[in-house]
């Protein structure tokens, strides 16, 4: 388990009560112009070769009861954004507010106590668990670090968390190597929920799992959200997964959000050329809402440019099938083209993207099907 995983769980230093981080009004999470840059140096001469702008000017709000899905190709900055939100990677510039408090202005101890309110589920269910620790110790670690339980009460809370996540009480004495990938991810989820957080950032939590196991984990996350009142920031490259779990979707490309919209609006009528290309590359019966005409949309050309030297103007212009000269000359801002629809494209006019979505208002998406054995919340089959 890396230092990053321990930072979220809570270091084993002195305990402290969480600061009061509550706001009666406004978003639970606000990200303002977040930038995370990495200098690249020559290994021998140590001269600066350039700067990788992994996250470059990202802003959004997350309100109570919402799940924000962040989607994009590998290298678009999704995982770096996730770590920046939780201050696992300190931003170069920009601010992150949680319940009205500026996380970027907190010292290490104040931030450690504030982390009781927000936790992370990591992509790799093996690398995020210490192989030398039992499941009891793994799930109990954040509770002990924050001084919330000990002795029999600690053991009881750990067993409750495991059962909540579809594992058995007897699993507490096992070690990570004794579990399958899906079961290990359930352990990671139990650990993330130990402190009863309000926000969970899930970074590709099902990408390393088989499809049937993905369904179980996604259903588990949705059930836990309803029961515990959680808010999610859900990172994924899989549009089907994002469509299933999210209320709002943000599409990232080379460190920037190029489109942000309500889920049904984006999947029924994407506005940015990159969003259209992503849907075109992912069309299948699960996405469902695309017409035959949309299936013929041209996909993005070429490979993702290097973040060390992104294109001038619009970063997508070198792959965009409709780019014009203006796209190379000026970077398009992320603007609200119609109510709730934010797009960064010179060629998307104001008022675009206002289809009649009344038919979708009460639709929350079909429940993913799991194997017939057991239940989604029962003993993990994964």
Average pLDDT along the chain: 84
The fraction of the chain above a pLDDT of 90, given in percent, is: 65
Average pLDDT score over residue span 330-352: 94
Average pLDDT score over residue span 231-243: 93
d(CA 53, CA 37): 4
Burial class (CB in 10 A: 0-12, 13-18, 19+), 175: middle
pLDDT tens for 168-199 read: 999 999 999 999 999 999 999 999 999 999 99
pLDDT at 298: 53
Strand blocks (E) in the chain:
29-41, 48-62, 67-71, 93-98, 101-102, 118-121, 199-203, 231-236, 248-253, 256-262, 335-338, 341-343
Q: Does the pLDDT of residue 137 top 90, yes or no?
A: yes
Q: How confident is the model at residue 3 (pLDDT cuts 50, 70, 90)?
A: low
pLDDT tens for 77-115 read: 999 999 999 999 999 999 999 999 999 999 999 999 999
pLDDT tens for 280-329 read: 877 553 444 443 334 334 556 777 788 888 999 999 999 999 999 999 99
In 10 A of CB 259, how many CB atoms?
28
In 10 A of CB 153, how many CB atoms?
11
**Cα separation of the two ends of the chain:** 22
Burial class (CB in 10 A: 0-12, 13-18, 19+), 134: middle
Q: How confident is the model at residue 211 (pLDDT cuts 50, 70, 90)?
A: confident
pLDDT at 343: 97
Instruction: Give 26 or 195, the one with higher predicted confidence.
Output: 195
Starting at the edge strand found earlier in the chain, the sheet holding 341-343 runs 118-121, 199-203, 231-236, 67-71, 248-253, 256-262, 341-343, 335-338
pLDDT at 352: 83
Q: Which two tokens stand for residue 320?
A: 């965009």
Q: Hey, is 16 helix, strand or coil?
A: coil
Q: Does the pLDDT of residue 220 top 70, yes or no?
A: yes
């Amino acid at each position: 388990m890396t230092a990053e995983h321990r930072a979220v769980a809570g270091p084993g230093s002195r305990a402290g009560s969480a600061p009061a981080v509550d706001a009666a009004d406004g978003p639970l999470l606000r990200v303002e112009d977040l930038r995370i840059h990495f200098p690249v140096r020559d290994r021998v001469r140590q001269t600066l070769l350039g700067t990788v702008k992994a996250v470059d000017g990202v802003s959004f709000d997350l309100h109570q009861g919402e799940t924000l899905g962040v989607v994009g190709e590998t290298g678009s900055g999704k995982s770096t954004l996730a770590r920046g939100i939780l201050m696992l990677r300190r931003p170069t510039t920009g601010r992150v507010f949680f319940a009205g408090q500026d996380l970027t202005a907190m010292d290490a101890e104040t931030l450690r106590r504030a982390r009781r309110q927000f936790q992370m589920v990591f992509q790799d269910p093996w690398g995020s668990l210490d192989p030398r620790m039992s499941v009891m110790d793994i799930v109990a670690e954040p509770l002990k670090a924050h001084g919330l339980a000990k002795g029999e009460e600690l053991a009881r809370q750990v067993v409750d968390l495991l059962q909540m996540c579809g594992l058995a009480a007897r699993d507490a004495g096992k070690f990570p190597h004794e579990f399958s990938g899906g079961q290990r991810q359930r352990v990671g989820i139990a650990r993330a929920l130990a402190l009863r957080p309000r926000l969970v950032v899930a970074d590709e939590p099902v990408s390393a799992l088989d499809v049937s196991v993905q369904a179980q984990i996604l259903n588990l996350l949705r059930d836990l959200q309803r029961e515990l009142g959680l808010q999610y920031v859900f990172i994924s490259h899989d549009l089907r997964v994002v469509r299933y779990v999210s209320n709002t979707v943000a599409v990232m490309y080379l460190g920037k959000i190029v489109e942000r919209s309500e889920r049904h609006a984006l999947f029924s009528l994407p506005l940015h050329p990159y969003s259209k290309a992503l849907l075109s590359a992912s069309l299948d019966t699960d996405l469902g809402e695309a017409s035959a005409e949309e299936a013929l949309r041209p996909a993005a050309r070429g490979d993702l440019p290097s973040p060390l030297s992104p294109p001038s103007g619009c970063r997508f212009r070198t792959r965009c099938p409709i780019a014009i000269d203006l796209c190379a000359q000026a970077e398009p801002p992320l603007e609200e083209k119609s109510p709730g629809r934010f797009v960064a494209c010179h060629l998307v006019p104001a008022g675009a993207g206002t289809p009649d979505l009344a038919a979708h208002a009460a639709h929350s998406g079909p429940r993913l099907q799991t194997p017939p054995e057991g239940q989604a919340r029962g003993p993990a089959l994964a």
